[in-house]
Structures are given as C-alpha cells and as structure tokens.
Amino acid sequence: MSEPIKVVVTGAAGQIAYSLLYMIANGDVFGKNQKIILTLLDIPPMMGVLEGVVMELSDCAFTLLTEVIPTTDVAVAFKDVSVVFLVGAMPRREGMERKDLLSANVKIFKVQGEALNTYAKKDVKVLVVGNPANTNALICSHYAPSIPKENFTAMTRLDQNRACAQIAQKVGSDITKVKNLFIWGNHSATQFPDCSNGTVDGKPVTDLVDASYLENEFVTTVQKRGAAVIAARKMSSAMSAAKAAADHVRDWWIGTQSGNYVSMGVVTPKDNPYNVPEGIVFSFPVEIKNKQWSIVPGFKINDFARSKLDITTKELLEEKEEAMAVCNADAKI
C-alpha cells in the first residue's frame, strides 16, 4: 500500500459526484493499492445533503478510504491536495446552451484557481468537468500561475466514449475493439468527433461505415448527445459523466497503453502539431507517460476536419474573451 493521497471532489453533493465518489473510493481510478483521503467540497446550502453522502461512504466500508472530509472552505479542501475533480458548477438545464452558463460559472473557477495557487501541491492534477469545462479550466489555470499549465485539463472523455459507443453499435462490434476516435476542440456542440483515424478490430472505421454518415449523423449525434440526455432525463448526464471523469484521471495517473490514445482538453502550447492558437483549452488526442500528457502528432486532418477545427477554435476564442471580461481581468492569458 502506498501513502494516502488527498483527492478533492467539488460539487460533492451533486449528481455526477454521487457516481464518481464510488469509483474513486473503490480503487477504480488510482488503483487497488492506493489509499485515499477524500475531501468533499460544496456550498453551504448543500451541507445537509453532503452529510448523507458522507454517511453512505462510511456505510460502503471502502478499505481504501482513510478519511472523508466534507467542507465548504476552499482552503481546507485544497490544502496539500494531489488530485482535484472540479465538478461543482451550475448545471445546464433543458433549453440552455452552454454559453448561457459561462458568466455564472467562470467566477467559481476564478476563485478555485486562486485557492489552488495558494494551497495545493505544485504538482496537483486538476480535471475540470463543470461547464463550460474548457474555458473554466483555462480560467482556473490563469488564476493559479504557480502551478504548471499542463496540470489543468478539461473533460472531453465523455464525448469520446459516446463516439466509441455510436460506432460500436453502428458496426455491431464489441466496444473494446473500437480505438482512436478523437474529440477535437470544445466540449460543446461545436466539438468535432473524428473517426478518420479510428479503427474497429484493426480495420479503419472509414472502410466500415460510409463517409456521409461519419460526416453528418455521427457528428451531430455525438455533439448533441448531452442535450438528448437532458431532454429524456430532465437532468444532465451523470453516471456517464462520472465514468468518463474516472477514465480521464485513471489514464492520467496510470498512463495510456501504446497506440491507444485518448482525448483531453489541454492548454494549447505554442507550436502544437495541429496549428491551434496558443492559450485556449482545446481537446486533442494525447498519450500519457509518467503522469505527463503529450499531444500525439501526425494524425491526418483533411479539409472537412480542418473546417470543423476552425469552428470550434473560433468558439473557444470567443469564450475566452467573454470569460476574461467576466473576470474583469487583463485579456492576455
């Protein structure tokens, strides 16, 4: 057994956290030999609900949980933390586009970035789930300048999982055989789910499924899947979002398998291989070794894909501008 690590989940009284906490405490993210101090952050009106979550975590009798700390205080939550799941935010309701949420949620991520800067370990790994996830991650990183930008990522793994599930169903395959479908750009309706490098059981997806489906119905189904779940459930995706958050952080912690890449929203470095502007949080195919991600170069981007990348880039640049205006800060990140 290794020394316990401190893990924080924000929005801990919410619906995604309700599924996610189980996976973390059960060893599905950090492995079955990693003890965990689990800190649960939420806002004061939710403390009663959070008390019930703490009771249930206790009643699960998880062997890996050494301590559970419910709190409303970011200083308590983020002190010496190793891994943070930033889930807490106002969720999208039926009929709302993610842009509508931006101004309310960006302020939360500014405060949390400042607190991480002051209290967290400098090698803390931060996953932003709360929407608009890419731009929230950017703001969080901006207000935590003492922590490397590489340590802030946004979740597009749910979109990747959705894309893999659609293709597996379309070709009648086991999902474990579907590889290297990627999400480019924003976790929003402008994201580009891309099959052009994907395979099913080693065969190119483009040989198995007709191009018109891949460029039209497939793209819009994945882009609008979150809205379809809201329309059906009257609440946003929770179980699948929690599973994707667990997948994202597990791969970051343990590493990706050779030749099997994953999608992550990361702060775009200068000179990235796909010519995306520097300084936005953009989803790329990445591989992870020794807890460090790197963008996988060399995937083909045809004219159709480039036009899709340009649309999602434009949206992210606009979101960045709006977010910085909300934060009333210098627009230079």
Ligand X SMILES: NC(=O)c1ccc[n+]([C@@H]2O[C@H](COP(=O)([O-])OP(=O)(O)OC[C@H]3O[C@@H](n4cnc5c(N)ncnc54)[C@H](O)[C@@H]3O)[C@@H](O)[C@H]2O)c1
**x/- contact string, 187-226, with ligand X (CB under 6 A)?**
x---------------------------------------
Selected binder of ligand X within 5, 7, 13, 262 (CB under 6 A): 13
Residues from 118 through 147 that contact ligand X (CB under 6 A) = 129-131, 133
Residue 42, annotated ligand binder? yes
* Cβ-proximal residues to 318 (8 Å cutoff; 6+ apart), any chain: none
* Cβ-proximal residues to 299 (8 Å cutoff; 6+ apart), any chain: 182, 196, 197, 285
H or E element: which one contains 70? strand 65-71
Convert 12-43 to b/e letters by CB count within 10 Å (16 or more is b): bbbbbbbbbbbbbbebbbbeeebbbbbbbbbe
Q: Is 316 in the site for ligand X (CB under 6 A)?
A: no
Residue 250, annotated ligand binder? no
Rounded Cα gap, residues 283 and 224, in angstroms: 17
Note whether 90 and 105 are within 8 A (CB). Answer: yes
Scanning 30-38, 188-196, 231-239, 309-317 for contacts with ligand X by CB under 6 A, the matching segment is: 231-239
- Residue of 125, 142, 149, 187 with catalytic role: 187
C-alpha to C-alpha distances, 39 to 21, 73, 244, nearest whole angstrom: 10, 11, 20
Is 142 a residue of the active site? no
Q: Is 281 in the site for ligand X (CB under 6 A)?
A: no
H or E element: which one contains 243? helix 239-254
Scanning 115-123, 202-210, 236-244, 248-256 for contacts with ligand X by CB under 6 A, the matching segment is: 236-244
Whichever of 120 and 155 has its CB closer to ligand X, that residue is: 155
Residue 162, annotated ligand binder? yes
* Contact positions vs ligand X (CB under 6 A): 10-11, 13-17, 41-43, 46, 87-89, 91-92, 108, 129-131, 133, 155, 158, 187, 236-238, 241
